[in-house]
Amino acid sequence: GAGVSQSPRYKVAKRGQDVALRCDPISGHVSLFWYQQALGQGPEFLTYFQNEAQLDKSGLPSDRFFAERPEGSVSTLKIQRTQQEDSAVYLCASSVGQGNSPLHFGNGTRLTVT
């Protein structure tokens, strides 16, 4: 597609529910990133994929967070047993290269845990 596509745009979950957030990167982009943005803050790194390999997951806040990119294209960020502190905007970005090319962001998924 022309840009990075994320779905759903908004998600409301009750505390304890599992959620799955989808990212469809720009076709041919090798690198894919997930970021978490709390209200009034800058985006915080969660995890990075180079093709299907998850090279860095150091930013995932807990073992309730899991990300995958099985075929090196679409990625899913899954949050199990959601907590109120998980409420944030989850941003996906892709780039054609690895560290030396610009990031292109999707519109994000706004997750609200009630």
Give the binding site for other proteins (CB under 8 A): 31, 33, 35, 41-45, 48, 50, 55-56, 89, 91, 93, 98-105, 107-108, 110
Instruction: Supply the minimum distance, in Å, between the C-beta of residue 69 and other proteins.
Output: 15
DSSP 62: S
Nearer to other proteins, 47 or 82 (CB): 47
Instruction: Supply the minimum distance, in Å, between the C-beta of residue 99 and other proteins.
Output: 4
Nearer to other proteins, 25 or 108 (CB): 108
Nearer to other proteins, 12 or 55 (CB): 55
Instruction: Supply the minimum distance, in Å, between the C-beta of residue 74 and other proteins.
Output: 20
Neighbouring CB atoms inside 10 A of 49's CB total: 23
Classify residue 26 as exposed, middle or buried by CB count within 10 Å of its CB (0-12, 13-18, 19+): middle
Q: Which of 23, 22, 75, 26 is nearest to 49 (CA)?
A: 75
The residue written with tokens 């949050």 in the block is: 79
